[in-house]
Amino acid sequence: KAGVTQTPRYLIKTRGQQVTLSCSPISGHRSVSWYQQTPGQGLQFLFEYFSETQRNKGNFPGRFSGRQFSNSRSEMNVSTLELGDSALYLCASSLRTGAYEQYFGPGTRLTVT
Amino acid sequence: GQQLNQSPQSMFIQEGEDVSMNCTSSSIFNTWLWYKQDPGEGPVLLIALYKAGELTSNGRLTAQFGITRKDSFLNISASIPSDVGIYFCAGQLIGSSNTGKLIFGQGTTLQVKP
């Protein structure tokens, strides 16, 4: 089975721009969670989508948003980028929402200049 | 917010030695997961634990779900150079079992000297 894929792998943007990241979960997995990883804050939960519905949201500003499509693929969007948004953005897929194993993709490295 | 305290922060050991790391919290968890992350890659799931007291092995790795549900540990036996990386614990808080939100520890950086 193919693993979780994320595109693009690397991205450079300037302050004020917006960005969209994509995640394709493992085939058959219906839950996708997004995390931000930075050296200072570690891995922080952004949000989770299951059956095209946001199930939970972490403590991030409204500039961070996401969605899930009927094929379980998910996108996250960050608007009005700030320097502090530079991070590795990881998505993880799981069979269902709840207490299940989560499998991570390789991440998208976003650099904001 | 909720925190997981992971220790030690880093370890530098000789090849062949055993390694132990743990995570503790003041909150109760109903799931513990252990991951390993290599530079530039996403975390890879090593072991998943779902019951208090559960002891699970995966090759040279052994992890336990603490009986109080507030801690977990990971042991690596007979370390080898490819064990190098950052190990993370992650837990799902009791009460959030209807969502996939995971809380992560700060990570343990493991270096192995051949």
How does pLDDT run across B45-85, given as a tens digit for each residue?
A: 999 999 999 999 999 999 999 999 999 999 999 999 999 99
A74 has a chain B CB within 8 A of its CB: no
Residue B40 is predicted with a pLDDT of 87
CA distance B31 to B99: 12
CA distance B73 to B51: 14
Q: What percent of chain B has pLDDT over 90?
A: 84
CA distance A30 to A51: 6
Count of beta carbons in the 10 Å neighbourhood of residue B89: 31
Name the residue with higher pLDDT: B100 or A7: A7
Residue A113 is predicted with a pLDDT of 97
Q: Do B100 and A4 touch (CB under 8 A)?
A: no
CA distance A19 to A10: 12
Residue B98 is predicted with a pLDDT of 65
53-72 in chain A: CB under 8 A from chain B: 55-56, 58-59
B89 has a chain A CB within 8 A of its CB: no
Confidence of residue B97 (pLDDT cuts 50, 70, 90): low
Confidence of residue A14 (pLDDT cuts 50, 70, 90): very high
Q: Do A55 and B30 touch (CB under 8 A)?
A: no
Nearest-5° angle of CA A40, CA A44, CA A49? 160
Closest among A90, A34, A39 to B9, alpha carbons compared: A39
β-pair partners for A32: A49, A93
Three-class SS of residue B95?
Answer: coil
Helix then strand then coil, in percent of chain B rounded to 5, is 5, 55, 45
Mean pLDDT to the nearest integer, B16-40? 95
Contact B35, B88 (CB under 8 A): yes
Q: What percent of chain B has pLDDT over 70?
A: 96
B97 has a chain A CB within 8 A of its CB: yes
pLDDT tens readout for residues A39-68: 989 999 999 999 999 999 999 999 999 999
The torsion angles phi and psi of B82, rounded to 5 degrees, stand at -75, 0
From B98, B100, B107, residue closest to A42, measured CB to CB? B107
CA distance B1 to B43: 22
Distance of CA B108 to the CA centre of its chain: 8
β-pair partners for A91: A34
Q: Do A55 and B98 touch (CB under 8 A)?
A: yes
Residue A90 is predicted with a pLDDT of 98
Q: Do B98 and A98 touch (CB under 8 A)?
A: yes
To probe the interface with A, which of B65, B102, B109 has the most A CB atoms within 10 Å?
A: B102
Three-class SS of residue B39?
Answer: coil
Q: Which two tokens stand for residue B4?
A: 């997981």
Q: Do A100 and B104 touch (CB under 8 A)?
A: no
Residue B95 is predicted with a pLDDT of 74
CA distance B42 to A104: 6
Nearest-5° angle of CA A100, CA B78, CA B20? 55
Confidence of residue B99 (pLDDT cuts 50, 70, 90): confident
AA identity, residue A89: Y
Mean pLDDT to the nearest integer, A16-22? 98
Residue B96 is predicted with a pLDDT of 65
Residues of chain A contacting B106 with CB distance shorter than 8 Å: 42
Mean confidence (pLDDT) of chain A? 95
Residue A2: is its pLDDT beyond 90? no
Q: Is A3 exposed, middle or buried (0-12, 13-18, 19+ CB in 10 A)?
A: middle
Residues of chain B contacting A108 with CB distance shorter than 8 Å: none
Confidence of residue A20 (pLDDT cuts 50, 70, 90): very high
